[in-house]
Structure 1
């Protein structure tokens, strides 16, 4: 594919001490299991319960599927390296991980913006909601999110694949990320760096502005018409949503919307843990499982499952 001399990279482990390795393995295994199970539950109840066949839960089910894929791009490899002590990754595998990480991250940015717009229409333009957010339009929006996320990342990966890596081969990160990978290149990365900066600026800042503006309009509308109890409930809901959105966008923008590759600090690695691991864990509980409709649907699904189990034993 190119004339690179380095064909294998070595990833950094988050903790060097044996005790830290054991703690990280247990903690991140538990986080991974909770993330996969929590998001899988959301997908199941959104498919099974007809009461959740609405645009909002349609988007939430796609967010859940995306989070399962997103955390699976980085965490299993990191856990495998911690358990086996083998932190090596081939150049092709590194580019593959980088491509899916960037594509899924871009898709999530687009999807969060679409979800915020959906809530804006529902709250601020309720009479037009069903005519605007039709099933066909929702499918088109979701298709655009996924396709745009995967297409937008392709150009960056193609440019990186043409770079030469002459050594050293130690990536100062626990996964193949753009900045620490470009620092290892022995060729001019200015063109690649500029393209990545522009793409990250458009995707992250653009979707962040749409998301925050939608939430701001929603909050001002709700506070203007709601009672005291309604205001407190709305403020609590939007505070939790904005907390997750702020953590995700602020960390991503800080790490990626920078014109140079200088200075990959330990602080960047800590921020990476927030948007690669903690955000996929929190999103199911913040966006879906706190909702009364989702909780009721979950209870109905559980009762149906128990009933089927009882019938299977009685047969």
Structure 2
């Protein structure tokens, strides 16, 4: 027998909602993994939950592109520096992206550093006949990272420099050689802590990427920081919605935001007629089918 809770469905009609689009290689793919100590993708979803009104396109390539040209074993996915930069330029300057104008904030992420020792260990485990030929080098990766910096300066697209951020924490001054992570340099435990297999990120690597992203957003678009965005869905303590769910007399009645107490702890964000909602109304309509509600 259906309970009174099952008689009411909350359907909020939203428009112009924002999002993050993460575009990249295996580092982006694994950023949603539940098996790391810090999930970059989940952290973004959490901090912008119910709030995102802005659109971000975050572009991060280079983990495989920066492989040495013609490196042995497996599919050769390497991309020369000039072609790498040209491809990125197409991405950020494509008419379909430009058509969004200022409604989309593009962020380029530099190719991160590599640890040649860990890369070699990983490669030899996967390809026993590889020998001592490295497929990724710190120097070649640095060239790809510089190509991203140069493209950002050329196009005016902000650059999240994860390459320098990681190396800075190793104590490197960005000028001297050999680079941390190279066979010529001493083993650097700090760099290795960021890279699970020498180039893909560990949880700590993703944590640093998240921190640097928040610093960049605050610098470039402070209005898009989570604390500066209004709620687009009511918080858990939105009293009108809660009362509707538990009130047996309210059999699917239509309510509007702000009929009683303010949501979000009385902050007034997300109320009907407020500047944040731009006069749009969010209505409670329909019925529950089981305990599944639909967001239209």
TM-score band, normalised by shorter chain: 0.3 to 0.5
Higher relative helix content? 1
